[in-house]
Amino acid sequence: MKAAIIGGGVIGGGWAARFLLNGWDVAVFDPDPQAARKIGEVLANARSALPQLSDTGLPPEGRLVFAGSIAEAVTGADYVQESVSEQLALKHRVLAQVQAACDAPIGSSTSGFKPSELQAGAARPGRIFVAHPFNPVYLLPLVEIVASPASTEAEITQVQDILRGIGMFPLHVRKEIDAHIGDRLLEALWREALWLVHDEVATTEEIDEVIRMGFGLRWAQMGLFETYRIAGGEAGMRHFMAQFGPALAWPWSKLTDTPPFTAELVERIASQSDAQSGHHSIRDLERIRDDNLVAFLRSLKDRDWGAGRVLNDHDRLLAAQQEQLKATKDVADDTQMVVLPSWIDYNGHMTESRYLFAGSQAVDDFLARIGAGLDYVKAGHSYYTAETHLRHLAEARLGDRLSVRVQILSHDAKRLHLWMTVARDGTEVATLEQMLLHVDMASGKPCPAAPEVLAAVAERAARDAGLPRPEAAGRHVGQRKQAAA
């Protein structure tokens, strides 16, 4: 699959990273001579952050090219994302050039224009949408999809499916409106914040502290209306509205007006912002932001809530794609995983417990393939680990992609003797040798496995018999490698 990115600024670079790290080939067109450097820096941040959100491992990275023209970039593209400056005449020229060279759906990153405005004069207006993301595009899942009546339901669905495939949450905004939904809400808060600075009620830092120490934490996982539903107590939203509704008539808000946008106000805000954050470079702030977002999103993912559910859905999609690839291309059934922040110890290396976790995940996958997965366990039988020998051969660090291969060394009706190799880019990082006992869970005693499971084990063992027996198999702790005679 190929994505074409027209405009390589902060948003365009984020789109390029999101597609590229999800296995798409990406062609970028941007006449800025610094485009390659700027996108390279965005990619460096994305490569550090995005893989930490996937428990299955992202697909192999696609190929990135910088095209010399719009036509070159979009030729053969399956999807096009336009992210040029917010100038309608410029967007019209760009969209016309795109449609002259391809028939792919085109998403526009516009923050404010309606799709009907973008589609004016277009050869195929129904193929042009608003696809408005939020920065950083490679981490935040929301993208607002806005279409005009010129687009069919099938075209809207096609765009949503493409964006879900790269781990995004495409929200269909059903009515055209200036600035869509997200930016209208942000604009309301922004206007109030400008008034607070203008009237010298608060500094930029104090306003940011109110958001990040207070309601911002609630919004991150519950939004606005669900938060206020809780604020209504057991009576819920109706009570909240009855209690606080009258405040809407009080002079709390200046949303219908904006402060005079003077040079003095600009200087006040800029100087306060410098005092607040000027000791960090923009790239430093981006990395701090990304690290914090990863931690928030991982927490939501563990709870399968909000944006975390989107990440879990994407993991399930990636896992299904990996299984399909194995089935159609005879790819080895290794278990794939990525070294996550919680897996790292004080030395900056993958911690010992996570090597055991990696082996456990691989064995679970193996057991599912031989018919001894969760359904088998629910029926009252399971394989229990009796003994494990772990060897550390190299260091795994944050973000490393690992694969774990399981090999049957020996077996009988009640036992499985397994060898697992944990590898990074073909280099052995660790090995685990494990003995499993088949157990009747009601009695807690070993017993023969079901005939169909034993048959699957025998078939797999016959395949593994062609592999060389690991040299360290059967080695006890501390045993040195024997010198050749």
Residues 398, 49: Cα–Cα separation, whole Å: 10
How far is C-alpha 146 from the geometric centre of its chain's CA atoms?
22
365, 345, 350: which is closest to 424 by C-alpha? 350
Region of 167 please: left (phi>0), alpha (psi -120 to 50) or beta. Answer: left
137 marked as part of a ligand binding site: no
- Sign of the dihedral defined by the CA atoms of residues 299, 304, 306, 307, in that order: positive
371 marked as part of a ligand binding site: no
What are the start-end ranges of the E strands in 59-141? 64-66, 79-82, 106-108, 128-133
411, 407, 436, 409: which is closest to 422 by C-alpha? 407
Query: Residue 420, SS3?
Result: strand
Length in residues, the chain? 485
308 marked as part of a ligand binding site: no
Alpha helix (H) residue ranges in 307-351: 307-329
Query: Residue 28, SS3?
Result: strand
Residues 339, 403: Cα–Cα separation, whole Å: 11
Phi, psi at residue 454, to the nearest 5°? -60, -35
Residues 24, 2: Cα–Cα separation, whole Å: 6
Q: What is the DSSP letter of 391?
A: E
Phi, psi at residue 435, to the nearest 5°? -115, 125
Transcribe 93-148 into DSSP letters: HHHHHHHHH----EEE--SS--HHHHHTT-SSGGGEEEEEE-SSTTT--EEEEE--
Transcribe 147-174 into DSSP letters: --TTS-HHHHHHHHHHHHHTT-EEEEE-
Query: Residue 260, SS3?
Result: coil
The residue type found at 380 is G
10 marked as part of a ligand binding site: yes
- Sign of the dihedral defined by the CA atoms of residues 134, 157, 315, 303, in that order: positive
380 marked as part of a ligand binding site: no
CB 116 within 8 A of CB 141: no
- Sign of the dihedral defined by the CA atoms of residues 200, 206, 212, 215, in that order: negative
Q: Strands 64-66, 25-29: parallel, antiparallel or unpaired by DSSP? A: parallel
- In angstroms, how far is the first alpha carbon of the chain from the final one? 55
Cis? peptide before 33, omega within 30° of 0: no
422 marked as part of a ligand binding site: no
Annotated binding site for NAD(+): 7-12
Annotated binding site: 7-12
